[in-house]
Amino acid sequence: MIRLDDVHKQFGPVAALSGLSLDIPAGTIYSLLGPNGAGKTTTINALLGFVEPDRGRVTINSIDVKTQRMAARRQVTYIPEQVQLYPRLTGLENLRYFHELSGAAALELGELRRCLFDAGLQEGAIDRPVGDYSKGMRQKVGIAIALARRAPAMLLDEPTSGLDPHAAREFGESLRWLAGQGVAILMATHDLFRAREVAHRIGILNAGCLVEDLLAADIDIAALEPLYIERIHGNPG
Ligand SMILES: Nc1ncnc2c1ncn2[C@@H]1O[C@H](COP(=O)(O)OP(=O)(O)OP(=O)(O)O)[C@@H](O)[C@H]1O
Ligand SMILES: [Mg+2]
């Protein structure tokens, strides 16, 4: 569903991506780990069509991002680190606004409410101004926007940074629920614990190369950090 084949991207002297290949099937959550500058955001930007690879192919739902950019864009929802919403509008009003803006088919208010509820927003918050929301609650509105669009793919860039453990856990549960609906999810993160808890697969990116790619179930949380350090810095002994 979310696919990169041998993607290269050079920014001046910096090789941001050096032959990256990924294939994330429907219903799968993939956590992309890696140090600052590893190429995680560049990967997401290539999938969104914001960055054009020098070489290789990027597709979403088999639609080529380079040749059919708008069609590919409709297959995917994107959740940045800070979900930008209108503070004076309620959660429901924000959802309706962004849903209509996306050009997707209009939904009835009841259906939009359902999306917020399914995203894990407390019912009491739905009609309150977003200016009063916590960061975790705003992220849930982002999930609801994704749910309403029914896009088969979702990209997230450090979505849990700054969330408290409880909010991050709830956020992870919402992602799991979304994957259960068949959505393919790529999440760039520095949170090893959450990556291990939430994802089906984990990849470690270093200097634009995928240096590890494993099933989350095949590694326990205590072993992930040493593996990460070894893959990034090499094992000194
Ligand atoms: N538009 C750009 N122009 C020049 N260099 C860029 C551009 N975008 C990214 N880079 C460089 O490409 C490399 C990869 O950056 P990227 O933002 O993809 O890393 P990242 O893994 O998301 O890092 P972080 O964890 O800090 O968010 C970095 O060296 C960065 O400076
Ligand atoms: Mg980044």
Global pTM value: 0.92
Mean pLDDT of 88-95: 96
Q: Residues lining ligand 1, judged by CB closer than 6 Å?
A: 11, 14, 16, 34, 36-42
At residue 199, does pLDDT exceed 90? yes
How far apart CA 120 and CA 235 sit, in angstroms, is: 41
Ligand 1 binding pocket mutation candidate from 22, 33, 40, 155 (most atoms within 8 A of CB): 40
pLDDT at residue 63, rounded to an integer: 97
Mean pLDDT of the region 204-208: 96
pLDDT for 235: 63
| Residue 20, pLDDT score | 98
**43: CA distance to ligand 1 center in Å?**
10
**Fold designation for 1-76+184-237:** Rossmann fold (3.40.50)
176 alpha carbon to ligand 2 midpoint, in Å? 22
Locate all alpha helices (DSSP H) within the chain, ordered by sequence. 40-48, 69-73, 91-101, 109-118, 135-149, 165-180, 192-198, 221-233
pLDDT for res 83: 84
Q: pLDDT tens for residues 18-77?
A: 999 999 999 999 999 999 999 999 999 999 999 999 999 999 999 999 999 999 998 999
Q: Which of 54, 69, 63 is nearest to 3 (CA)?
A: 63
Mean pLDDT of the chain: 93
Per-residue pLDDT at 237 exceeds 60: no
| pLDDT number for residue 234 | 81
| pLDDT one-digit tens code per residue, 113-156 | 999 998 888 899 999 999 999 988 998 898 898 889 888 999 99
Q: Which residues have beta carbons under 5 A from ligand 2 (an ion)?
A: 40-41
**Residue owning the nearest CA to atom 5 of ligand 1:** 11
Interval between CA 222 and ligand 2 midpoint (Å): 25
Cα-to-centroid distance, 190 and ligand 2 (Å): 10
Q: How many helices (H) and strands (E) does the chain have?
A: 8, 10
Q: Where are the domains of the chain?
A: 1-76+184-237, 81-150
